[in-house]
Every structure is written in C-alpha cells, then in structure tokens.
Structure 1
Amino acid sequence: MTKKANFKWIISILLLLVVFITYVFLYPPVSKGESIAKVNGISIAKEQLYNAVMEADGKKALQNLIDQELIQQEAQKAGVHVEQTEIDSALESTKGQFSTEDEFNQALDNYGMTLASLKQNLQTQLTIEKILEPQVTVTDDEIKKYYDENLETLKTPEQVKASHILVATKEEAEAILQELKNGGDFSAIAQEKSLDTATKSQGGDLNYFAKGEMEEPFETAAFKLEIGALSDVIQSTNGFHIIKVADHKQAYTPTLEEKKEEIRKTVTKEKISTLATSWLEEKKSGASIENYLTS
C-alpha cells in the first residue's frame, strides 16, 4: 500500500533537456563482423546493432551532447558553477516527493532513467536557472495572483502519519494484532512479517498521507485512530492490515505572507522554463556548430 506517485518533477526536468546516450553510441564496434547474437545459427553482427542504434537515436543523442556543451560554455562565460551540494540538495528534494526509496527507484525505471542521468539533468537544470535567473523579475502582483489562483494546492490537507503490517490472511493478521496488544514491537514485527516490500524495511512506515491517497477501508480506519492506537484487522485488495498512527495533522490554509518566498521561487522557475527554449535556440544560432551526423 503506497502513496500515489507525483511525477511533476520528471516533467520539469525533461522540459529543459533529456540526455540519452547509449552504450553503443559511446563505444562503437571493436571489430567489423563481431557477433553479438545468433538466430537459428545466423549471426547478428555488433556493427548491425551500432548502425541500427545510430539511425534510431544517434542524431538525437549527439544533439543533446551539443546542447550540453553549449550550455557549459555559456555557464563559463557567465561565471556560473553548480556545486555538488546543490545537486545533492535537488536530488533529495526530488526523492522527498516519494514516500519510499523503492517508490522513487520505480519512478526512475518507469521513465527509463538512472540515478546518474537524473543527476545530470538536475545539474543542467540548475545551470540554466543560474544563467537565466538575473533576467527574470517577479512582482508582488504576480505573487498575489499566483496565490489567489492556486490557493487550493497551497493548502495543507488533513494528514495522518501511519505504519502498517500487511499479511495474506485474516487469521495471521489477528494473531499479529494479539501479539502487538501483548506488548510486541510494531516496527520489528513489520520488518519480519509484512508483505509490503516498499515499507517493511522502515518498520511499515507509510509517512504522512491525506485523504484520497489510500484505499477507502484503509484510509477510513487510519483517520479515525487516535495517535498511538492500533486498528482492528483491515481488509484491502492487497490483503489484511494492522495500522498504527503516529501523528495527526489538521488541515491548514497558509497566508500569502507565509507562502510569498516559496511562490516567488516557483514563478521564477516557471519563467525560466518558458525562457530556456528560446534562449538555447538563440545561443545555437549564434554558435559555430559542426554536426557530422546531419547528412
């Protein structure tokens, strides 16, 4: 039972630049005719794979490399440098949008990304932001407009912080519940017996979640529990759960002043995203670029 993933971070990163370079593009065939596979005794040469990848993705990959090089040259001219600590901070912020490490890694897999390519995208994004930020101005009127138009998304909904133990049968869940009532350690039992691989290593911790993020029976039980209390056995499509609530936050509506700087940063990033494409095209049009794969 996991929270619904938020993929906005993927969209914002890929909006600026997608870096995709295949192994065979970086490392061309070592020898003509070298076999990499056979079908009914007939060899497929490594050269065939290289040519196929080059035809499908080579030009795109090279264009991305050209863009990367041009961005780095512009960064040097502007005296812009992205520190490793800034990349690490952006990575942690991205990871923070997911309830578990497994959920984050699954999102990478779903989008065909690796941790290394994500870090490269973050570095590129931060570099462009630093170059273009001096060109962007955000007024108080724009901040007020954003606050008014996005107030619902700025509100913090009612949330609970809960852990759970998931098992396959009601009988096993009832036995575990009795063990917990007799003083058993919830975290230790979750690590030992829970079937939820995404949370068992954290003792079943689901972190905070709002209404609408979990299945209805699970959610209803969690929001009714007092802090520290155990639920009865709850059935969902995943199996049978025992829930323990660690914290409960009431819904909250922030003031404009409380959100002012956060909104300023958000609007600044939006303006930079809009400006980035035309800026890069302008820099390419003024650069001397020789692309030998265009023919």
Structure 2
Amino acid sequence: MTPVWNRITLAAALAMATLSPALHAQESAKPPAKDGKAAVVNGVVIPQSRVDQLVKERISQGQPDTPQLRESVKESLITQEVVTQEAVRQGIDKRPEVATRLELARQNVLIRAYLEDYFAKNPVTDQAVKQEYDRLKTQLGDKEYKARHILVETEAEAKSLISQLKGGASFEKLAAEKSKDPGSKENGGDLGWNSPASYVKPFAEALTKLQKGQMTQQPVQTSFGWHVIKLEDVRPLKAPALEEVQDNIRQQLQQQALMKLVAQLRQKAKIE
C-alpha cells in the first residue's frame, strides 16, 4: 500500500563505466589534433569525437571543462585501448561469456540512446504534468486518516481478533503479536496518516465508513489477506504544492509512456 505521491523513478538503461582512473590529470593539455585524431595506439585511431563525447558527459555531471579534464579523458581512453587490444590479442573477446556481455553492453547503450531520442521528440509537457496533478489531487480527496490494522491470513483468525478486541484486548498488543504486516506490526499496527487513495479499494472503503475510535466489526479482505482496522483520527488533507511534486509526476508519466511504448513494440514484433 504505497502513498500516491511516492517517487516513481524511470528505469534507465545501463552505461559502460570507464576502465581505470584518469592518468596524468595534472599535465598540460595538448591542443586537439587537427585531423580529428586524439591519439593513435598501435595503429588504431582514437578519434577526437570520442574524447569530446566523454568530456561532454563529465561536464553534464558538474565537472568544469578544463585542459586538465580533456587530457585526463584522453589518457584514460589510451589506457582502455591498450588493454582492449591485449585482450583481443589473447582471444578473450571470442569467449562465449565475454561475447554475451559485449552484446548486452551494446544493447544497453542502444536502448539508452533510443530512449533519450524518444523523450526528446515526445517530452512530457508542463500541461500534462498539471493535468495529472489535478487528477491525483482529486483522487486524494480532502481528508486523511490515521489508522491501525492487524493483518492475518484467514477470516477465522480475523474474527477471533475482533472478539478479543471487543472483550477488552489491546489493539496494539494483538497487532504486535499477530499481524503479518512487517511494516506496521512493531508499531502496534500503526499506518500513520494517509489518504484513502493510498490503500487498496476494500481497505479504503472500510476505513472511510468508520467513526473516530471505531474498528471494523467484520474482517476486511484484500489481496494482502484479512484485516481488522481501527480509525484513530481524521483531519483535513493538505495536498503538496505542484512545485513540490512535479518532478515525481513527470517521471511517473515518463514511466507510463515507456511502458506503453514497450508494449507497442512487443505487439509489433514477431516473437517465437
């Protein structure tokens, strides 16, 4: 039962990490080669564009564009090329498990580039974020509830707990002893303050019918099991401002768009 406003992150494609720390970072940088070659290692050209790409990525991560950075990146690429050539010379690239890892790395790079291109062409607009915010705000309602619950596996167990509670047993004590919900049992079944939208439908419906201080007189079944619910308090709900949650909403909408895109691609594909 996850609150609506929890952050939903967009799954990102994996990027290959650099092989080794940068070398000679303090040396004076040499000017870029006019012929587009950053370096030549045993006859293999390391293009200046490769250096430029990695420098661009470092800058996007907050590093300043300096001659030392460019020299560091170039030296790192030279080191990678030297080691890569030796690995190929020894035939390591022909090993089945290595070939598989290389193909997976290639796919990951292509996937990341494809997704970057897709969302550049199909951005989530501010208007779409605002519409989703308004929808979620309406869904949340104008009240939030402080509740406790005890979760058990069977209806019979839940009925037994209700009988014990009617007889004067402590809700908190029974929750700590009997509840199957690891997230709340140690706190006496306390779920904290949440809107009904934070819960699955049967739980939310039962909760909103209770008066302050009441508990459910019959067990409530959800996909998690059987619940005994106690409402401790109700208060007006103040939804977070759009500015506080717009990044999370944008990521959620991107995730939804991504899932739809993948479903369409799978539908078009011939999968045997």
TM-score where L is the length of structure 1: 0.41
Structure 1 or 2, whichever has the larger Rg, is 2
TM-score where L is the length of structure 2: 0.43
Give the helix-richer structure, 1 or 2.
1
